[in-house]
Amino acid sequence: MAPEIKYTKIFIDNQWVDAKSGKTFDTYYPHDGSVIAKVAEGDKADIDAAVDAAKRAFHRNSEWRQLDASQRRLTLDKFAGLLARDADYLAQLESYNNGMVLTMAKMMAHSAVNFTKYFASLADKFQGNTIPADGAVFSYTLKQPVGVCGLILPWNAPMLMFICKAIPALAAGCTVVVKPAEQTPLTALALGALLAEAGVPAGVVNIVPGFGPGAGSSLTHHAKVSKISFTGSMEVGKIIQQAAGAVNLKRITLELGGKSPLVIMNDADLAAAVPYAGRAVFAMSGQVCIAASRLYVQSGIYDEFVKRAAEFAKAIKVGDPTDPTTQQGPQTDEPTMSKALGYIEKGKAEGAKLLVGGKRIGNKGYYIEPTVFADVKDNMSIATDEIFGPVQSILKFDTLEEVIDRANNTNYGLAAGIFTTNINSALQFSKYVEAGTVWVNDYMTLAPQTPFGGFKDSGLGREYGRDCLDAYLEVKTVTINLPKKI
Catalytic residues: 255, 289
Question: Cβ of residue 162: shortest distance to ligand ADP, in angstroms?
Answer: 11
285 neighbors 368 (Cβ within 8 angstroms) = yes
359 neighbors 367 (Cβ within 8 angstroms) = no
C-beta closer to ligand ADP: residue 157 or 372? 157
C-beta closer to ligand ADP: residue 287 or 328? 287
Cα separation, 349 vs 436, whole angstroms:
33
C-beta closer to ligand ADP: residue 334 or 402? 334
List the one residue from 82, 181, 252, 380 that touches ligand ADP (CB under 6 A). Answer: 181
List the one residue from 41, 43, 94, 182 that touches ligand ADP (CB under 6 A). Answer: 182
> Which residues are paired to 278 by β-bridges?
none
Q: Which stretch binds ligand ADP (CB under 6 A): 50-58, 68-76, 160-168, 177-185?
A: 177-185
Q: Which of 371, 259, 383 is closest to 309 using CA atoms?
A: 371
Instruction: Name the CA radius of gyration of the chain, rounded.
Output: 23
**Site residues for ligand ADP, window 409-428 (CB under 6 A)?**
none
421 secondary structure, DSSP code: S
Q: Which stretch binds ligand ADP (CB under 6 A): 164-172, 210-218, 360-368, 377-385?
A: 210-218
Q: Which residue is nearest to ligand ADP (CB)?
A: 212
Cα separation, 229 vs 101, whole angstroms:
27
C-beta closer to ligand ADP: residue 213 or 342? 213
x/- site string to ligand ADP, residues 137 to 156, per CB under 6 A?
---------------xxx--
- Exposure b/e, 380-402, CB count within 10 A at least 16 = b: bbbbebbbbbbbbbbbbbeebee
The CA–CA distances, whole Å, from 162 to 124, 178, 319 equal 21, 8, 27
157 neighbors 108 (Cβ within 8 angstroms) = yes
**Site residues for ligand ADP, window 214-273 (CB under 6 A)?**
216-217, 220, 232-233, 236, 239-240
C-beta closer to ligand ADP: residue 233 or 266? 233
- Exposure b/e, 51-61, CB count within 10 A at least 16 = b: bbbbbbbbeee
**Site residues for ligand ADP, window 71-110 (CB under 6 A)?**
none
Question: Cβ of residue 77: shortest distance to ligand ADP, in angstroms?
Answer: 28
Q: Which residues bind ligand ADP (CB under 6 A)?
A: 152-154, 179, 181-182, 211-213, 216-217, 220, 232-233, 236, 239-240
